[in-house]
Amino acid sequence: MTGGGDCPGLNAVLRAIVKTADNDYNLEVIGFLDGYEGLIENRYRELNTKDVSGILAQGGTILGTSNRANPSHYPVLEGDDYVYLDRSSQGLRNFESLGLDALIAIGGDGTMAASAGMIDKGLPVVGIPKTIDNDLVGTDVTFGFDSALATATEAVDKIHTTAQSHHRVMIIEVMGRYAGWLALLSGLAGGGDIILIPEFPYDIDAVCDAVKTRNALGKNFSIVVVGEGAKPIGGKQVVSRTVKGSPDPVRLGGISHQIASQVEDLTNIECRVTILGHLLRGGSPTAFDRILATRLGAEAVHMVAREEHGQMVAMKGNEIRSTPIKEVAGKQRLVTPDHPLVKTAQSLGICLGVPDGVPLKESVSEEVAR
């Protein structure tokens, strides 16, 4: 099953699972539809090698997905409001009635947290990490991230030309929720002048000083790359809306408009905003993600055959390892002040929203530090 937000590479991993199961072990595979919803509602389809032929380069997921289907906290609409019920026993009954040996759960932190709860109740799960946010602990990289990074970088590249032409401050907002990996790396790859990420609350005066310094040097445009979860020192993240029935109802977004308004007021320089949003989730996976997804999918089947349940396939360097799903659930891998890429950004003179002379560590918010 594929759970959580979609990303490029999901079909590549499904293809690897089905082909490895068939070629190496003669195992039958079924795919639950729409994440854990399919397990609870007993909705599934058989998957054979013909079903996964030609989907390696296809974005999205042929199984569908859901980011609001935790079996232990399952939303059910009663009237105008949702109530949350424990449907894990129903999911276990469906699993057992189909005579299955294991469930391969492909997803991010929400899927791994839901899987950890199901493992406690006896479901044999093997996890595969995916997310464009790249924020899962226990693995160096998740598939989907490289593809989103390529899309974000291309967008920053294209925005450079109009920024130069009109002498504007261009602000590009990318996804990532509470982790700044996508903003940091796309800012570095795209030549961003200012990069603002959730882990380091920013000072708007420092941002404006960086813009004015560039203008004083004859660089009459600036590129700002901002993660959707960024927030000012002492301020809050911008919430675009809340979604009823979702395990994580908060939808971040819109911080770029707030920054644009403040920069215009404080510098008298025209700003424009581009929010990439779900564009980052779509499209064909990069070659890196196709190979990563294929390796992870094949190894997950080998782990099922070895009955290594309760583990998530992980990448450590160039080697495939595994880590307990319970050690992944409920945690996030965030950008730290001493990360090499942060130091690289500082060496290049990129503004990270911190006033001159203030060490980056002092700007890390207390809740992120915890």
Q: Which of 6, 133, 193, 289 is catalytic?
A: 133
Q: Which domains does the chain have, with CATH numbers?
A: 10-144+285-328 (3.40.50.450), 149-280+336-369 (3.40.50.460)
d(CA 106, CA 95): 17
Buried residues in 298-328 as b, exposed as e (16+ CB within 10 A): bbbbbbbeeebbbbbbbbeeeebebbebbeb
Say which residues have a Cβ less than 8 Å from residue 121's Cβ, sequence separation at least 6: 88, 89, 92
Specify whether 338 is catalytic: no
Digit-by-digit pLDDT tens for the chain (370 residues) are 999 999 999 999 999 999 999 999 999 999 999 999 999 999 999 999 999 999 999 999 999 999 888 999 998 888 888 888 999 999 999 999 999 999 999 999 999 999 999 999 999 999 999 999 999 999 999 999 999 999 999 999 999 999 999 999 999 999 999 999 999 999 999 999 999 999 999 999 999 999 999 999 999 999 999 999 999 999 999 887 776 656 667 788 899 999 999 999 999 999 999 999 999 999 999 999 999 999 999 999 999 999 999 999 999 999 999 999 999 998 999 999 999 999 999 999 999 999 877 887 655 544 444 3
Instruction: Give the three-class secondary structure for 176.
Output: coil
Cβ proximity of 108 and 133 under 8 Å: yes
